[in-house]
Structure 1
Amino acid sequence: MGRSAGEEARLSNLDGKAPESTDFANYFCTYAYLYHQKDMLEDHKRTGAYYNAVLQNRRQFHGKVVLDVGTGSGILAIFAAKAGARKVYAVEATDMAKQARTLVEANKFSDVIEVIQGTIESIELPEKVDVIISEWMGYFLLRESMLDSVVLARDKFMAPGGAMYPSHARMFLAPIHTEAGARRNTDFQGSMEGWAEFIGEMSAYYQVDLSCLSEPFRREQRDYYLQTSQWCDVHPSQLLGPGTPFVSYDLGKVTVEELKAGIRENFEMAVVEAGPVNAFCGWFDVQFRGSDASPADSPVTLTTAPDPTGATHWGQQSFYCVPPIDCAAGATLKAAIKVDRRRDNHRLLAVELAVKVEGQSGGARELKWNIE
């Protein structure tokens, strides 16, 4: 469920926890619009992967009870019904539930699909389910923190031996070449020049000295231009090395506590083509493999990796390095990554990366970004 930056207002509480009503307004309201559902549905790599994962594994759905977490338009619930599910509970927190009911009725699945408006945390079901399906992924996989609700649904409603669709997920990082980082730095410098002109004008026109705010303004602008990741559509030719999977999740086993604890991983990235490394590119994939008790007959993978045919609606995230990191072909980048939920909004992410070119003295860098 990746979304364009800025769609959610930032929340700022001292303890980092948003009131439920505010969180609902800032997170869920966007999904109540059909234009938003259209954006997701017309991403055919996304929708097609789910369609294939369900319809190519009819045996795993036929006669089963299915829970669709965050059904949105109801499309995944309809796929499950088409595959022969006995019952589908389609749970949706927003008023999009009304549109989902309309779609279910129009496609003559009302006898199978029951649309329930509410959150997973608040609803109850009359029976355990055999399959949980959900499109919960956000930018860089974890933005939005919807996986918490999917895991809660698993613990609350899944019968023994049940299967998660998708069942596994991985996160990747790779060094890339891009001119975008230099452009962002130019924009940052231009912003600071504009500020200098502004405080000069304020002093000349109104005899008010705003120079005491220059450092806070600089931090604010640096955070925006240089320390905020950016949605991008990276072409494979920009990759300086292959993507390295630095964390993986078995969705049948991962806990909410593990997710809340964030990511702490050490890994290496190979540099196949000579740098400089202008940015690191992040993406994810998810796999539909079923469970040990009910493995998929035809496993399907949905990837958001750089693709010459264009990006999914998730795109990739570019984490810019200003200045860039110089390294030769054949070099190895030793990296330590931290990914945490932001204190001001737990649905957004903060990323830290410590990276060093192996064998190169003085090349260690400490980089920090926000994912908006």
Structure 2
Amino acid sequence: MANYFITYSYLYHQKDMLEDHVRTGAYFNACMRNKAQFKDRVVLDVGTGSGILAIFAAKAGAKKVYAVEATSMAQHARELVDAQGLSKVVEVIQGTIESVTLPEKVDIIISEWMGYFLLRESMLDSVLVARDKFLKPDGALYPSHARMFLAPIRSQLTQNRFQECSNSVENWHDFVADMKEYYDVDLNCLTESFIEEQQDYFVKTATWADVHPNQLLGPPVCFASLDLLTVTQDEIKKALEANYSMHLPQMCTVEGLAGFFDVEFKGSPSNPATDCVLLSTAPSATGATHWGQLIFSLQPGIPCPQNSTIEGKIDITRRGDNHRLLDVTLSEQALRMGENNRKDLAKYLFHIE
């Protein structure tokens, strides 16, 4: 994340996203199943990348599409637009959305801005800037709404991560002994820092995973919802704080929480979608989207009796050293076993790199 835009200037990265057919198919359907909403409209594609969403909008009937791209991928987008015979409709503009100007207001803003756990990368900031600068008062955003979820899971991955951390620390102790024996240099003064470093990486960093539905120990809970037409830039930059309560219908051991999101293409009150399309990154038996799910590992696992509840508070904040990365805190956690039986649980801090 040292230079956020560089990765998106490579075709291999665009290919990774395009071949995610859940993602690409959802945007295609949102346009093609709502041609009445796009017909003769002016559309802005924020972060067009390869230009694929701008092409979808044009094929759905838009009379003009402004496709804004911050990186040199803009040149490839122009080539792709030209190859489709759409250069009279789609205008590719290289620059950040914060710096460009348009000759007119737009009816629709379309963008694929979502990062891991929805908010990583903070590209939503740019979409809201575009909305406030360029969207007509009765305009629509595609997608229009977003939701964030947590679900309790069992996962060998959490055990593996802790074992990797333990193995790394054990290897360090052997290394310290070797350095003392061979070179008479005592590195023990660095041991505590090394352990903290390894725990930060293996234990406190959320891990990408393709979670199968049979790993779920209870139904996912929605802890946050965003209406992209009304949420403000100030609100999205603040820490997201929410409470959650997860029901465990069977006796189990919760080894982690899976975080994921979905977005909906509902149009706007003035121009509602005919067919509301849902793009979900929830665990699926057919495999994960490129977003997958993020696993927040809980070790040791939490033994839960039948019909118990894990409740707590989640705080999502932007990293001070890089606003595109996130810190996630799970606090005020408790296992509730009946109305008057409550057991306090540990507090956890995770990084989303």
> TM-score of the superposition, structure 2-length normalised?
0.97
Q: Which residue of 2 aligns with 1:343?
A: 320
> How far apart are the structure 2 equivalents of 1:242 and 1:248?
17
Q: Which residue of 1 aligns with 2:267?
A: 290
Whether the 8 Å contact between 1:240 and 1:274 is mirrored in structure 2 is no
2:230 to 241, 245, 253: 253
> How far apart are the structure 2 equivalents of 1:362 and 1:135?
41
1:107 to 84, 109, 132: 84
Correspondence 1:1-372 to 2 at 5 A: 8-9=1-2, 26-354=3-331, 355-359=333-337, 360-372=341-353
1:278-330 Cα shifts (integer Å, max 9, x gaps): 00000000000001111001000000000000000100001100111111221
Q: What letter is aligned with 2:146?
A: A
Structure 1 alignment gaps of length 5 or more: 1-7, 10-25
> How far apart are the structure 2 equivalents of 1:350 and 1:272?
30
Report how far residue 362 of structure 1 moved. 4.0
Q: What letter is aligned with 2:74?
A: A
Whether the 8 Å contact between 2:336 and 2:343 is mirrored in structure 1 is no
Tell me the secondary structure at the aligned position of residue 68 of structure 2: strand
Report how far residue 267 of structure 1 moved. 1.9
> TM-score of the superposition, structure 1-length normalised?
0.92
Q: What letter is aligned with 2:46?
A: V
Q: What letter is aligned with 1:357?
A: L
Report how far residue 180 of structure 1 moved. 1.1
> Where do 4+ consecutive residues of structure 1 move more than 6 Å?
none
Whether the 8 Å contact between 2:30 and 2:276 is mirrored in structure 1 is yes
Whether the 8 Å contact between 1:68 and 1:76 is mirrored in structure 2 is yes
Whether the 8 Å contact between 1:178 and 1:238 is mirrored in structure 2 is yes
Report how far residue 244 of structure 1 moved. 0.3
> How far apart are the structure 2 equivalents of 1:98 and 1:145?
24
Once structures 1 and 2 are overlaid, which stretch shifts more, 351-360 or 238-247? 351-360
Report how far residue 266 of structure 1 moved. 1.0
Report how far residue 363 of structure 1 moved. 3.5
1:165-192 Cα shifts (integer Å, max 9, x gaps): 0000000001000111111111111111
Structure 2 alignment gaps of length 5 or more: none
Q: What letter is aligned with 1:77?
A: A
> How far apart are the structure 1 equivalents of 2:141 and 2:153?
33
Q: What letter is aligned with 1:368?
A: L
Whether the 8 Å contact between 2:258 and 2:296 is mirrored in structure 1 is yes
Tell me the secondary structure at the aligned position of residue 81 of structure 2: helix
Tell me the secondary structure at the aligned position of residue 344 of structure 1: coil
> How far apart are the structure 2 equivalents of 1:158 and 1:361?
49
Whether the 8 Å contact between 1:284 and 1:305 is mirrored in structure 2 is yes
Report how far residue 361 of structure 1 moved. 4.5
Report how far residue 272 of structure 1 moved. 2.2
Whether the 8 Å contact between 2:328 and 2:350 is mirrored in structure 1 is yes
> How far apart are the structure 1 equivalents of 2:250 and 2:153?
10
**Number of equivalences:** 349
Tell me the secondary structure at the aligned position of residue 54 of structure 1: helix
> How far apart are the structure 2 equivalents of 1:261 and 1:86?
37
* Percent of matched pairs sharing the same residue: 58
> How far apart are the structure 1 equivalents of 2:345 and 2:299?
13
Aligned-CA RMSD value? 0.9
Whether the 8 Å contact between 2:67 and 2:93 is mirrored in structure 1 is yes
